[in-house]
Amino acid sequence: MFRVPFTDYFAIPWAAGRAWLLEGESPYAPTIANIAQSTIDDSGLMGVLPETRVLTLPLLTLVFYLPFSLIPYTISRIIWVVILAVSIGLTIYLSIRFSGWKLPSIGKFFVVVLMISWLPSAKAILTGQLSPIIIALTFLALYLLLLGQETTAGFILALTLSSFPGVGFILIFLLVWSISQKQWSVLSSFFSGVAFLLLLSWLILPAWFMDWASIIFNLYFDWQWINTPLMNLATLLPGIADFLSIFLHAAFILFGIFLLITALGKSGRVFIFKLCAILIIAYLVNVQNMIIYLLFVGPAAFMVFRYWSARWHLFGNILSWGILLSLCFGSWLLVLQDIDFTGTFNVPILSIAFPLIIMLGLFWIRWWALRLPELPYKTS
């Protein structure tokens, strides 16, 4: 971070929390950007503020940053990097659990290390995005749901609501599926958690909603901010990009609705398989188009690796590990000549081709996945 330029998404929430807690200033004040910029300059890090130099997070999301706002910036930034790395590691570990890929402990360790160090994860960690924590909470809620801890899962899902553009597709899927399973405690704990967080926010800072809504309206009054991976795929044919984009989004959303309908009332391996497909669709239609959301593809990829290894033994293991190593080291080769984390990466082979290939692989192993006696998320 002293050598590589990067966009710092941590500085503004940190400065907003600090100004609010220590000086009583609104976290949505325009002066927050000045505090964040001067802090970065004094730290010596090569960070720059994002184009949107105001706090766009709702107040209930600021709770993730408030403990760090009372700590000097450089120290809190180091701790934040560690938390993001641990969050990604937890996401990868849970993805392996969902898929049922039977690996020894040392194998799981290496998979986690590889996926923490590949390009999307490294960028999210260095730029200080909140997304790894939100993704980890989403996967943790999924895992608890599978274990039958419905109330806890609902409360954790409530913490992710503020990042609805990123996890909304998955959130809707889980809530509708919970209704079909008559898991009312998931719904009650989710909506109770949302109500509690909103009430607490209004009690602490009654004017926050109007300040936040004003910023959101001014920034997102048109549709130009929407940028999904499927939109990038459509630009490969610029002559029909608009039509192709509409067609692709309609096709994948309808397919996602089909998966949701066919998953209602299902459990075990059928639910896990459809969930893996839903996670890939959630990435493809994600309006934020952050490359870190490729972590959604993890459970499906590991499920494909699981059946390759089970059916083809040595060759399947070599193929699976070869793809993992290619993802880790190959992603860096794409940007090695000019490592700069201040912009977005337009790497279609990683952001578009990889999830589509895994989607095809997922349905290739469909017959195996739905006919094994054990649940896919169980491991030895």
Residue at 206 is within a domain: yes
Residue at 1 is within a domain: no
Residue at 376 is within a domain: no
Residue at 380 is within a domain: no
Identify the domain containing residue 146 by its residue range: 6-369
- 3-class SS of residue 19: helix
Count of structural domains within the chain = 1
The pLDDT tens digits along the chain (380 residues) read: 888 889 999 999 999 999 999 988 889 998 999 999 999 999 989 999 998 888 988 988 888 999 999 999 999 999 999 999 999 999 999 999 999 888 999 999 999 999 999 999 999 999 999 999 999 999 999 999 988 899 999 999 999 988 888 888 899 998 998 888 888 999 999 999 999 988 988 888 888 888 898 888 887 777 777 888 999 888 888 888 889 999 999 999 999 999 989 888 887 888 899 999 999 999 999 888 788 999 999 999 999 999 998 888 889 889 999 999 988 888 888 777 777 788 776 677 888 889 999 999 998 888 877 765 554 444 43
6, 126 contact by CB (below 8 A): yes
Q: Kindly report the CA angle at 317 between 314 and 323, in degrees rounded to 5? A: 140
Residue at 377 is within a domain: no
Q: Say what the pTM is.
A: 0.92
370, 362 contact by CB (below 8 A): no
Residue at 378 is within a domain: no
Residue at 374 is within a domain: no
Amino acid at 3: R
Q: Kindly report the CA angle at 203 between 199 and 207, in degrees rounded to 5? A: 100
Q: Where are the beta strands (DSSP E) in 88-142?
A: none
Residue at 27 is within a domain: yes
370, 270 contact by CB (below 8 A): yes
CB atoms within 10 A of CB 354: 21
Q: How far apart, in whole angstroms, are the C-alpha atoms of residue 65 and residue 157?
A: 18
Helix (H) or strand (E) holding 204: helix 184-204
40, 49 contact by CB (below 8 A): yes
Amino acid at 88: I
Q: Which residue has the tokens 């959604």?
A: 296
